[in-house]
Amino acid sequence: MTGKGKSVHGKRLVVILALCVSFALVLTPACLSAQTQGDVGSKSQQAAEIARQVDTLDRELEPVTEAYNQAEVELDAENAKVDESQRRLDSIGHSLDKHTKLLDKRVVTMFEEGRTSLIEVLLQTKDIGDFLEKADLESRVAKSDQRLVTSIKSSRDDARSLTQQLGEARRRQSGLVESIEAKKIDIEAKLQERQNTLNSVNAEIQQELASSHQDLIAGERVLNDQAQSAFLSAPADLPDNLARTALKFLGVPYVWAASGPDAFDCSGLTMYVYGLFGIDLPHNAAMQFNMGLKIPLQKALPGDLVFFGMPPHHVGMYLGNDLFIEAPCTGDVVKVSRLSARSDCSGVCRFWK
């Protein structure tokens, strides 16, 4: 072999060795680990994106759910108006029937006996005293008949007015029922979209989401314990009792439009707890906000309500130390959260003096 041939062979050998070394490096555990870490990182990013999408859907559900609750409150009020109007109409009808029968009887009596004039009364009396007594009786009978006729006319007018009001209330009632059904369909569609988003991801991402969820639950458990321990030795006044009572429902599942005690949505929780202390609140965050005395966050006490969004579409109960208790969203439970974790706090209200 010439020197030139040896040189070429040597170069080929170097290239082959280099390639072998390169393949060896690719197959080393360190490189495999890096590739695996890249896959895990990608899965984590996908899981985070799915979680973000679900959170967005949950935020979109808040105002729709509260709009549903408001329609339910308005429907309850309209139902009460319809029932009251119907009761009044029935009462007026009964009174009208009674007075009409009485007037019919008086007319028949007058027809049979003839209407007595004052001259006839005078001719039939023995003296002036007897005349005055009979004339007064005749006058009182005439006034009674007049009042009876007036009462019948008034009852008929009231009945017409109430019938009209009842018709309008029933039309509003029907419109609210349709509105509630439309909102219910909207909520169910968004919940289905939420579920479809979760179902669309593969098992590995589902596992990543479950792992992240467990981490969140662990952090929430710390906040729950922290809040509960703060009220163990708290004085037994109204605001602290409200907060202490609310904490008894930790872990109760969130269900939209639910008002307890086995399930709650946000305004259902606050309405239920306040109701236990004789304070009636409507099942709607915006309505609760409008009823309460507005106070600055710096002066908030445990038991005050904190609201989110404007008009408010979410509500929780302040516990102090940057903590509040809430029924947050579908798939979650009543829990303690940090107020500073939300950027949309729109006000604090107090409902006691």
What would the pLDDT profile of 57-85 be if each residue is shown by its tens digit? Answer: 888 888 889 989 998 898 888 888 878 87
What CATH number did the domain enclosing 156 receive? 1.10.287
Domain limit, last residue, from 152, 173, 199: 199
Most confident of 29-43, 129-143, 199-213, 227-241: 227-241
Residues 178, 264, single domain; the answer is no
Q: Where are the alpha helices (DSSP H) in the chain?
A: 3-26, 29-113, 118-123, 128-199, 203-230, 238-247, 266-275, 285-291
Residues 236, 193, single domain; the answer is no
Domain membership of residue 219 (yes or no) is yes
* Residues forming beta bridges with residue 200, ordered by sequence position: none
Domain limit, last residue, from 199, 222, 253: 199
Instruction: Please say if the pLDDT value at position 308 is more than 70.
Output: yes
Instruction: Please say if the pLDDT value at position 100 is more than 70.
Output: no
Which whole number is the average pLDDT over 234-255? 87
DSSP-assigned letters across all residues of 105-133: HHHHHHHHH-PPPHHHHHHT-SSHHHHHH
Mean confidence (pLDDT) of the chain = 76
Domain membership of residue 148 (yes or no) is yes
pLDDT score for 262: 96
Question: Which domain range does residue 303 map to?
Answer: 209-350
Burial bucket for residue 94 (CB in 10 Å: 0-12, 13-18, 19+) = exposed
More confident residue, 35 or 89: 89
Which whole number is the average pLDDT over 198-203? 73
> What 3-state DSSP class applies to 34?
helix
Which whole number is the average pLDDT over 335-344? 93
Residues 181, 296, single domain; the answer is no
Residues 316, 223, single domain; the answer is yes
Domain membership of residue 341 (yes or no) is yes
Buried b / exposed e along 273-293 (16+ C-beta atoms within 10 A):
bbeeeeeebbbbbbbbbeebe
Which whole number is the average pLDDT over 180-199? 85
More confident residue, 68 or 123: 68
Which whole number is the average pLDDT over 115-135? 57
Interatomic CA distance for residues 267 and 239, integer angstroms: 18
Confidence grade of residue 272 (pLDDT, cut at 50, 70, 90): very high
Domain membership of residue 232 (yes or no) is yes
How many structural domains is the chain composed of?
Answer: 2
Buried b / exposed e along 219-228 (16+ C-beta atoms within 10 A):
ebeebbeebe
Instruction: Please say if the pLDDT value at position 97 is more than 90.
Output: no
pLDDT score for 349: 97
Which whole number is the average pLDDT over 84-88? 78
pLDDT score for 34: 39
Determine the distance from the C-alpha atom of residue 37 to the mean position of all C-alpha atoms in its chain, rounded to a whole number: 45
Q: Please state whether beta strands 345-350 and 335-338 pair in parallel, antiparallel, or not at all (unpaired).
A: unpaired
Residues 147, 188, single domain; the answer is yes
Domain membership of residue 16 (yes or no) is no
Residues 121, 191, single domain; the answer is yes
pLDDT score for 58: 83
Instruction: Please say if the pLDDT value at position 181 is more than 70.
Output: yes
pLDDT score for 258: 95
pTM for the full model? 0.64
Buried b / exposed e along 119-148 (16+ C-beta atoms within 10 A):
eebeeeeeeeeebeebeeebeeeeeeeeee
- Tens digit of pLDDT for each residue in 146-174? 665 666 666 666 777 777 777 887 888 88
Residues 149, 104, single domain; the answer is yes
Residues 224, 87, single domain; the answer is no
Residues 192, 54, single domain; the answer is yes
Domain limit, last residue, from 168, 199, 230: 199
Domain membership of residue 305 (yes or no) is yes
Residues 224, 164, single domain; the answer is no
Confidence grade of residue 311 (pLDDT, cut at 50, 70, 90): very high
Instruction: Please say if the pLDDT value at position 8 is more than 60.
Output: no
Interatomic CA distance for residues 277 and 238, integer angstroms: 8
Angle between helices 203-230 and 29-113 (to 10 degrees): 70
Which secondary-structure segment (H or E) carries 326? strand 323-326
Instruction: Please say if the pLDDT value at position 126 is more than 70.
Output: no
Which whole number is the average pLDDT over 17-42? 38
What CATH number did the domain enclosing 336 receive? 3.90.1720.10
Residues 256, 192, single domain; the answer is no
Domain membership of residue 300 (yes or no) is yes
Residues 87, 105, single domain; the answer is yes
Let me know: does 239 contact 301? Beta carbons within 8 Å: yes
More confident residue, 74 or 272: 272
Longest dimension (CA), the chain: 174
More confident residue, 17 or 242: 242
Kindly list the distances between the CA atom of residue 174 and the CA atoms of 4, 45, 208, in Å, as whole numbers in the listed order. 101, 48, 47
Domain membership of residue 318 (yes or no) is yes
Which whole number is the average pLDDT over 337-348? 94
